[in-house]
Amino acid sequence: METIYQTRREALLNRLEPSTAAFIFSGKAPMRSQDESYPFAVDRSFFYLTGIDRENMILLMKKYPDGRTEETLFIEPYSEFWAKWVGGRMKADEAKAVSGIADIRYLEDFDGALNRLVSSWQGLGTLTVGLDLWRYQPDQTDTPAHGLAKRLQERYPAVRIADIRGELAALRMLKDENEIAQMRLAQDATNTAIRAMMRHARPGMNEAELEGAFDFSLACQGEREHAFQSIVAGGKRATTLHYSDNNQVVEDGELVLIDLGSAHNHYCADISRTFPVNGRFTPRQKALYDTVLAAQELVIRSAKPGMTLGELNTLVVDYYKEALEPLGLLKDGKSVGDYYYHGVSHQLGLDTHDVGNPTMNRLQPGMVITVEPGLYVEEEGIGIRIENDILITETGAEDLSAGILKTTEEIESWMKSE
């Protein structure tokens, strides 16, 4: 029986030109100090293509000039010694069972295999080596893919290097049924944990304790992975978009903005909610909150295939141009941009800010995106953001976060109940 990972690899190979060998690395945790390393986080594209969450592995996929394909997975050999200290490495039969790759070899064979690959291509035309050459910051540490590209250019100058980031992104942007099922589980866990946090909240509580209530609830559900570092921001601190100190006291009468989410098998939920720490919105807080909520619901109703994220954001800005004036915000030269200064949506999946391909800038069925309008009124110490995750369907959008408390009435009713 073909695994979903075989299907995904076949889809990637179909997008690659003949005479291409693609290498995808699982990654390796960098050392922190002495004998301790940082927590390992698997390369998301490697996981997408293999289903394996282990470090120090290399996936090789070859597409010959005649269209034939081959796959090899390089892994660390099993060690009885390390098994006693940190647990057993994945054995060859386990890697084969999970990934569906029959040809499993050990990393000590990789250099020889690389040389044989290049040598065997002589007479077949130019060999293209496909690598994910992602780089977010120009001075960030090289990935294993960057390292291999440099080695190839030095030792085998006739080899052509190609960045296959776009091909990987094009596949990952369209979620299959299995992926959506994982994302639904992440939504469910996040929903339960948000309810626990709201129920626990009291005036004078430190943001760290609120964050802890969320974390504890996830742990009680058997979920240890967060989609990203949680934001728990009380009062004026909520006007800083990526506030992450989470260590200040939230006073009576203040709102708390939370932006957080669980991840299930690395598939993310990304949810923002804003609630009064004492359980009761003031009339002013409610008026601002309901304005943000109306903007969000407008986008969710409007989202459909063919639209762009920019068009969704324009819906919010145009709505705010009318809605903010009665609230007294558009005066003294102020504009919408003074109170709303981020986009309304981004792709969501194995990464919270998931991969994108510029050629797929219009929504398609199977994409999952966030919808997160906000209002940030620093002079009043109020920051509000409401974020749901939606699945684009053939005719519109499904709100994956529909079960998470959202209206002021729902929030107040939940927080006062025992």
Q: What is the pLDDT of residues 227-258, one digit of tens each?
A: 999 999 999 999 999 999 999 999 999 999 99
Instruction: Decide if 270 is catalytic.
Output: yes
Read off the pLDDT band of 2 (50, 70, 90).
Answer: low
Instruction: Decide if 387 is catalytic.
Output: yes
207, 223, 387, 389: the catalytic one is 387
Q: Average per-residue pLDDT in the chain? A: 95
Instruction: Decide if 36 is catalytic.
Output: no
What is the pTM for the complete model shown?
0.95
Alpha carbon distances (Å) from 274 to 147, 175, 401:
44, 29, 15
Read off the pLDDT band of 1 (50, 70, 90).
Answer: very low
Q: Which residue has the higher pLDDT, 325 or 136?
A: 325
Instruction: Decide if 94 is catalytic.
Output: no
Over range 388-407, report the average pLDDT. 98
116, 202, 353, 362: the catalytic one is 353
Percent residues over pLDDT 70 in the chain: 99
Q: What is the pLDDT of residues 63-103, one digit of tens each?
A: 999 999 999 999 999 888 877 777 778 899 999 999 999 99
71, 167, 207, 372: the catalytic one is 372
Instruction: Decide if 78 is catalytic.
Output: no
Residue 417 has pLDDT above 90, yes or no: no
155, 202, 224, 242: the catalytic one is 242
Instruction: Decide if 132 is catalytic.
Output: no
Conformational region of residue 195, where left means phi above 0, alpha means psi within -120 to 50, and beta covers everything else: alpha
Instruction: Decide if 35 is catalytic.
Output: yes
Read off the pLDDT band of 188 (50, 70, 90).
Answer: very high
**Which range is least confidently modeled, 40-44, 97-101, 119-123, 201-205?**
119-123
